[in-house]
Amino acid sequence: MHSIVSRSKQVANLKLLYRSKAAGGVENAAGKTLQLGPERGLLLVLSEGGGEQPNAVAHQLAIATVEQCFKPEILTDKMLQNPLQQLSRTRKCIADAFCQYRKAQPAMSDIEAHTSMVWIKNNTYHVVGELRVVCYNPVLGLRSLTPDTKPVSMEMYDGDVLLLSTADRYETIDDESLASALSGENLSACYKALPAAQATLMAQVVGGAATPEKPTEQEKPVPPAEPEKPVEDNEPLVPVHTKSGHYETHDDAPIAQIRGEKYWLIAAALMAVAIIVLFCFF
């Protein structure tokens, strides 16, 4: 038996749609939108519980931790000026919260949650998390906002459709199919075209942001020229005979060393002559 929870609303220039699905009375994922106030933006959070047995504790703990980290009285000017740093700090707080919970509840030692956060501030997406986050724009196409789960910032454009979903963690959907699904006439149509998910949080930009320009094709970059092979340090010294009768080298080796090599060559030549002479007489 599945139960569906659906919410839709509009905040400033964003249309929001959130839907979750509970199986057997257990909701294993949840989404949250936090309005941080004027000039502070909007925070979108999606969390999915993990572990051997599905339960509602994991995602509830993750979202509660995010809410604590983004309380208005906690957000300082420094935090507001460094959104990615604040998101990364929040991610660490979630990990610490789960460590403490596992110590207090040994029977739940495998509990975990996968969480993604998108802080929309000053017409910019600031993103961090494990769940895949993508953005589709009719002009710019599909953009990934969670490359290798590293924090990233990306400009927001009019017409963007932002998607946070638990589906892509377990199901594979190619970029072309995903872009096609997100090109629907409204968020409900986009949601119906997506693969089944435990929870989905979507946002559509309907004005108030920059109009995207179609990117121009860039010329193929010229590959850099291969650097010249450096001269190895262990190459033998090459003595050079000068007009003055002395031997010198390209790296100005000591003259005594060069003279030693000269006398060794002369001695070897005399030895060869002596052997030839002895061979002729005997």
Same domain assignment for residues 245 and 196: no
In a domain, 216, yes or no: no
Contact call for residues 132 and 144 (beta carbons, < 8 A): yes
Same domain assignment for residues 275 and 183: no
Pick the last residue of a domain from 205, 222, 256: 205
Q: Taking the CA atoms of the chain, what radius of gyration do you get in angstroms?
A: 35
| Closest listed residue to residue 41, CA positions, set 86, 94, 6 | 86
Quick one: average pLDDT of 245-250?
45
Cα–Cα distance, 139 to 161 (Å, whole number): 12
| Closest listed residue to residue 199, CA positions, set 116, 99, 81 | 116
- Global pTM? 0.73
Same domain assignment for residues 51 and 108: yes
- 221 compared with 20, residue with greater pLDDT: 20
Distances (CA, A) of 267 to 262, 272, 273, 274: 9, 9, 10, 11
Same domain assignment for residues 269 and 187: no
Contact call for residues 163 and 182 (beta carbons, < 8 A): yes
| pLDDT attached to residue 71 | 93
Q: Provide the greatest CA pair distance for the chain.
A: 116
In a domain, 107, yes or no: yes
Q: Could you report the per-residue pLDDT of 101-130, keeping only the tens digit for each?
A: 999 998 888 888 999 999 999 999 999 988
Quick one: average pLDDT of 254-264?
52
Same domain assignment for residues 18 and 108: yes
In a domain, 231, yes or no: no
In a domain, 232, yes or no: no
Is the per-residue pLDDT at 69 higher than 90? yes
3 state SS of 99: helix
Same domain assignment for residues 197 and 277: no
| pLDDT attached to residue 109 | 86
In CATH, what number is assigned to the domain containing residue 7? 3.60.40.10
**93-115 per-residue burial string, b: 16 or more CB within 10 A, e: under 16:** ebeebbeeeeeeeeebeebbbbb
In a domain, 30, yes or no: yes
Number of separate domains in the chain: 2
Q: How confident is the model at residue 21 (pLDDT cuts 50, 70, 90)?
A: confident
Same domain assignment for residues 109 and 47: yes
- 13 compared with 43, residue with greater pLDDT: 43
3 state SS of 195: coil
Least confident of 26-30, 181-185, 272-276: 272-276
The structure tokens listed for 210 are 């920059």
Contact call for residues 166 and 143 (beta carbons, < 8 A): no
Quick one: average pLDDT of 222-239?
48
Is the per-residue pLDDT at 189 higher than 80? yes
Same domain assignment for residues 38 and 126: yes
Same domain assignment for residues 175 and 248: no
In a domain, 229, yes or no: no
Q: Could you report the per-residue pLDDT of 45-60, keeping only the tens digit for each?
A: 999 987 666 568 899 9
Same domain assignment for residues 167 and 38: yes
Q: Which domain holds residue 118?
A: 2-205
Is the per-residue pLDDT at 174 higher than 70? yes
Pick the last residue of a domain from 182, 205, 228: 205
